[in-house]
Chains A and B, each alone.
Chain A
Amino acid sequence: MIGENNMDVLLSFLNSLPGAFGQGFAWGIMAIGVYITFRILDVADLTVDGSLATGGAVAALCISQGWNPWLALLMAVIAGMIAGLVTGMLHTACGIPAILAGILTQLALYSINLRIMAIGSGASTKATLALSVDRQELLVSSRYVREVDLSNPLFLLVIATVVLIALLYWFFGTELGCSLRATGANQAMARAQGINTNWCKVLGLVVSNGLVALSGALLAQYQGSATVDMGRGAIVIGLAAVIIGEVLLGKVFRNFALKLLSAVIGSIIYYIVLQFVLRLGLESTDLKLLSALVVALFLTIPYWKGKYFTKKVRREVGRNA
């Protein structure tokens, strides 16, 4: 009896894997955005909880107004970039600590997202904007995640991920990209070398939130709706993806492009694990708790490792005697 039950769990888990990959890739783009702020700029940017939903809301709005879905993606990216710009200005021009600047923008975006989704509907605010692959032209939809042709959303998501990583790899190798990395690595040094560190931070936040909004725009299409709280806890999921990727692949992936890829892989693993624990009987509402625990745990391990578990020196007896 028990064996049969286990079999069911396993089967339904396997059945959910394509979906996990779809979600993992869509969130993976978001994780790349988080990698840029968290790892390259050394800033934990909490704007993303808001800008993810903004990306979803803008894309859903544009598509429901009958716009071309590619144009909708572009609009979402621009909206996300503006959100990043606001956080950047709050931080650099107004001197607000980065974390607080992000929280302020995120909070403001909650109101704005409700307004965005209501545009053209007659209502003044709206918390959900539904999309349907039957009525609208969508770039990705979870409905086709098991298809074996070009309509499969994984096809486009993989291409998008590869193109984005290639673009970012090129960008962070340019003079401008290098000055961004220098800003994150050592601000005093960057300024001494004539780098405008404030401008670099703003640029980093703009690029990052553009990516996050792009992820939101793809997610809204993938799951068939944009909701005002689709970004709640996004920063934690993004961090989880980045950290899981680093812990599992950090030793092997040295190249910058591969490091970005490891964030995407981290995101996919995150969703696979989530599918697994869901099959074990947890509610989907428990996932936030689980994400928080995962991030807390993986951030703690390297700290404790350095503090309490110093490597033992191997004594080579008699060698040098």
Chain B
Amino acid sequence: MLEVRNLYKTFNAGTINEKKAINGLSLTLEDGDFVTVIGGNGAGKSTLLNLVAGVFPVDDGSITIDGQDVTRLPEHKRAKFIGRVFQDPMMGTAATMGIEENLALAYRRGQARGLRYGINNEERKLYREKLAILGLGLEDRLTSKVGLLSGGQRQALTLLMSTLKKPKLLLLDEHTAALDPKTAAKVLEITETIVRRDKLTTLMITHNMRDAIAHGNRLIMMDSGRIVADIRGEEKKNLTVQDLLDKFHVESDRMLLSE
């Protein structure tokens, strides 16, 4: 579903602040893979996701989604294939617009936007059903401004928006990191439900090793812009935090992760 080949990205090239964020990374995701990504600060996790999403251009290498080369495609065109949830709860939704308006924007991801009405009554019914699944009571607040919602509610809504039209690839960039533990667990639970139900190919960055182990069918560990471990199948199922910690010490002593 996703094929990343020989990816390179350097920030501030040629200056004293030069940072090789991604350094010859290759990665192939099979259809339906749910991959958790861990790695220390500066390992290049977020850069990888941003490159796949097209937030900034690659220096070298190629990115293919479902057989289509998207390496040179601008961000808004790639959005057709990709659903995204960001770390910052403020980033995934438009605060000054209503819940239903945000959903209507997401419902038209990848479509040409013309002079038809921005939202219709049939959609509202659909949104109400989808919101009810979240179990946050948002289904009765369709016209409320998103700015009035809590961080957890906004992340849940963003998650719903990113999957409202089934994406070929779902990118989750530490989407629970800014939430309190209870809310984070709830959002993660919703994530698991949606990903399983729609069999979404997913890349999920997390700082939490337990979460990385508990979720998905595959785990990759990054360091210095490369993948240093790729654990799947039975090995992933039997993985423990201690295993990961041992691996970390072997791979790099610069990594700092929360358990």
* Separation of A186 and B157 alpha carbons in the complex (Å): 15
Given contacts A175-B113, A185-B94, A185-B95, contact A193 B118 (CB under 8 A): no
Binding site secondary structure of chain A: helix
Chain A: minimal CB distance from B166 (Å): 14
Q: Which residues of A contact B115 (CB under 8 A)?
A: 171, 174-176
Q: Report yes or no: B92 in contact with A175, Cβ–Cβ below 8 A.
A: no
Chain B: minimal CB distance from A143 (Å): 40
CB closest chain-A residue, reference B80: A194
Within 8 A of B (CB), among A32-80: none
Q: Which residues of B contact A193 (CB under 8 A)?
A: 79, 105-106, 108-109, 161
Partner of B94, one of A173, A174, A176, A181: A181
Within 8 A of B (CB), among A145-199: 171, 173-179, 181-182, 185-186, 188-197
Q: Which residues of A contact B84 (CB under 8 A)?
A: 192
Chain A: minimal CB distance from B181 (Å): 26
Chain A: minimal CB distance from B100 (Å): 11
Q: Which residues of B contact A188 (CB under 8 A)?
A: 86, 91-92
What are the interface flags for A192-209 relative to B under an 8 Å C-beta threshold, 1 for contact and 0 otherwise?
Answer: 111111000000000000
Within 8 A of A (CB), among B102-119: 104-106, 108-111, 113-119
Q: Report yes or no: A177 in contact with B94, Cβ–Cβ below 8 A.
A: no
CB closest chain-B residue, reference A171: B115
Q: Report yes or no: A178 in contact with B118, Cβ–Cβ below 8 A.
A: yes
Q: Report yes or no: A196 in contact with B76, Cβ–Cβ below 8 A.
A: yes
Given contacts A185-B96, A194-B111, contact A179 B116 (CB under 8 A): no
Is B191 close to A, CB under 8 A? no
* Separation of A179 and B116 alpha carbons in the complex (Å): 12
Chain B: minimal CB distance from A104 (Å): 25
Q: Report yes or no: A192 in contact with B53, Cβ–Cβ below 8 A.
A: yes
Chain B: minimal CB distance from A36 (Å): 14
Interface centre among A175, A179, A188, A191 (most CB of B within 10 A): A175
Is B93 close to A, CB under 8 A? yes
* Separation of A45 and B171 alpha carbons in the complex (Å): 35
Interface centre among A178, A179, A188 (most CB of B within 10 A): A178
CB closest chain-A residue, reference B95: A185
Interface centre among B79, B82, B109, B162 (most CB of A within 10 A): B79
* Separation of A175 and B111 alpha carbons in the complex (Å): 10
Given contacts A175-B108, A178-B101, contact A189 B94 (CB under 8 A): yes
CB closest chain-A residue, reference B113: A175
Is B249 close to A, CB under 8 A? no
Provide a sorted-by-A list of 23 A–B residue pairs whose CB atoms are within 8 angstroms: A173-B118, A174-B114, A175-B114, A175-B118, A178-B118, A185-B94, A186-B94, A189-B91, A189-B94, A189-B105, A190-B76, A191-B75, A192-B86, A192-B162, A193-B79, A193-B109, A193-B161, A194-B76, A194-B79, A194-B80, A194-B111, A195-B105, A196-B74
**Residue ranges of A at the interface with B (Cβ–Cβ < 8 Å):** 171, 173-179, 181-182, 185-186, 188-197
Besides A176-B115, A178-B119, A194-B80, 13 new A-B residue pairs in contact (Cβ under 8 A), listed by A number: A175-B108, A175-B114, A175-B116, A175-B117, A175-B118, A178-B113, A181-B101, A192-B75, A192-B162, A193-B106, A193-B108, A194-B77, A196-B74
